[in-house]
Structure 1
Amino acid sequence: MHALTRLAALTAATCLTIAGLAAPSGADPSAPQPARADTWVRTPGPFTGYGFDVCAAPDQATMDAWRTSSPFAAVGIYTGGTNRLCEQPNLTADWVRTQVAAGWHLMPIHVGPQAACTTYESVMASDRPTAEAQGRLEAAAAVSSVQALAIGTGSTIYYDLEDYDITDQACRQAALSFLSGWTQQLHAQGYRSGVYSNIAAAITSLDLANNVSRGSYAMPDDIWFAWGNGVADTEASTWVATSEWDDHERAHQYLLDVEQTYGGVTQTIDLNWVDVGGGSTAPKDTKGCRGVQVDQRKYPSLRPGSRSKHVEALQCLLREQHFGKPATSGRYDDRTARAVRKAQRKLGLRVTGKVTRKTWTALHARGTQPLLKVGSTGEPVRRLQRALTATLGKAVRIDGVMSVRTRAAVSRFQQREHLAPTGNVDIVTWERLASGG
């Protein structure tokens, strides 16, 4: 994350109307107003893949260029807090809705008072009760900010708590109380709680408290740790000993302040590996012919007279795509050969009645052509993985989840076809697969 700016002093007497705290007199007319609840989005949602965070929300042209060309599908955005470093001219409710509709997983970040033992001019209280009240206040303010941006209940909001000395017991306990208040108030208002910090600061402190004093503090739902080890995973080594955040509830900022260019647009960003919301998991594959396994480790050449499970898979594909109605018998008969020739004519392939690698690839790739990148899930990913297995002649795991390994297979295919090896499956890559490769 980026360095904090100066904060206004914060005390319990300035609390907004939140659970357990008194309301101040009057209201701030400049405070952000909630977007209509029926237009709210929930974010980041289930996702496992690459993300980035940047000081100011990028303009739409940048988001569009990076959506297609970069590996990233998640983005951290600073949604509020009096110490937010950058102005946010692009960050509006319409911007948020547009990004979510395009497939971005947004990670709202709120920056508030820092630990009492730091050198920041404005810090949280050093006594636990006041610090907890301040945490509740910040949660209420964060909810107001994200609701003005159409980010609704069920979303996760991350608190940015910068580095501090966790060996200072009073400071550590006050910070834990603050974060406990943050979590409790977010939950009371229907949001999930996240905490971003240096892995050796708040993350280690939270883990230690959860281990030796379970129940003393409310734990966040997600942790987001800064550890510039250059490894894109959510392994925290010995820094996190408990299993509190083992169920797809982590993000790892593994490289900081790196200049990256995609689609001709350059930004200085932090790189993250994100695994949250249950992770990227594909729904059960309910398509296909009953009892026929279309997912195979290889798709060999076939000709009339062949008998195998691969012929069954072929017959199933031909029936599904309405090229004919061959029985799924596993025997390459005349009806199957006629359906193959029809498919080859429709797919723009050489009409032979024999099934080669090109025919397999084109059959598997046929269908919708959405943009796919690491973290994408569903039936189009299964079709992609089958098509890659066929065209590369090497097994690609077929599970409906676009993984780093699937991305590597896409890159190999793109290199072979003299395409830009982005690892993302765009329209050009789909069309090349649909033509047999």
Structure 2
Amino acid sequence: MTLTQDKPLALLTRQDFPILNQEVHGKPLVYLDNAATSQKPTQMLDALRHYYECDNANVHRGVHSLSARATDAYEGARDKVQKFINAAHREEIVYTRNASEAINLVAYSWGWANLKQGDEIILTVMEHHSNFVPWQMIAQRTGAVIKHVRLTETGEFDFEHFQSLLGDRTRLVSVVHVSNTLGCINPVKAIAAEAHKWGAKVLIDGCQSTPHMQIDVQDLDCDWFVASGHKMCAPTGIGFLYGKLDLLNDMPPFFGGGEMIKDVFLDHSTYSGLPHKFEAGTPAIAEAIGLGAAVDYLTNIGMDKIHDYEEQLTRYLYEKIATVPDLTLYGPKPQADGSGRAALATFTIADLHANDLSTLLDHEGVAIRSGHHCTQPLHRILNANSTARASLYFYNTREEIDTFITSLIETIDFFKSVED
């Protein structure tokens, strides 16, 4: 991958993603479902193959060469993640299966130990189910109360309403950085600052931000930050939790078993230090190594280049989608330069179900998402049973957007002709 040429970023990177070079139903694949999961570069796939072909062994426990090499690669990936999000200490990075597990870890470790009857948790109405359900379950067990920040008229985080919800009983604010449905970028640094004035902790769901922009957890001053690897060119089954060092040290283990222990006796056990006390059992070794390789890949491109290119794509997408008849868009519009929102468009077409729309587009080779995108409460507020979503990444092109828009208009015309 050479990035010195004066070419669009997609043309410099697409050759690294062999899956994109295929046909679906006899049409070239146009993959626009990146908010659900990203595709994987050969550099990351090579790292997985190298581990299994050359270094396959369990980590930490062996003194033989294979185990030592596997441990170096596994722990080296943790260092890469630390640097990628600018955590202060490598021990602040805890491997998890995904962001859902990371949130559950915080909920059941910190939440169960610290929340009590009448304490307040602040979420938003736009949260992914992964940031709703764990807190609902903890609230039921502890008697804590959940409050929800509403939307502005433009479909964004209502900061004034958020400030009105804060109070002496606020213990936690857990908020998505970028909405996977609305595409709005929430002011998480300001949110954290306001919450900390009341002594509340702050968790940021970074699943939709980490793959697309530079993240600096120290600058954000959040207490926890979570992300999933599969959305950022890494394998499925791996994610991470960032937590401030003192906070993680005070939290009890979530899972028990091997690896997270220091000494085990018949009647009690003592636990390892950070981060291993939260990583029970044989870990996802290959997946963690793959995450490290994905971080290397994204770093080599430059997150600033990815972000800038996606803003260009966003501007072009919104220019083109505005020409589609009977279409309703959700979330804020981008600024004139394409900034101010994520590179995705969530929409409905009058009298057409999103699943039907997605099915017909698939026959044109265009892959988009349809459904509620794990944001059912938000969809009820939007009065939409289901929406369609086209989401972009740095390997997408303007030509693919053109194909999507042409296929979308043709699909709408087809349904109208059937109705007539």
TM-score (norm 2): 0.23
**In terms of Rg, which structure is larger?**
1
TM-score (norm 1): 0.22
More helix by share: 2
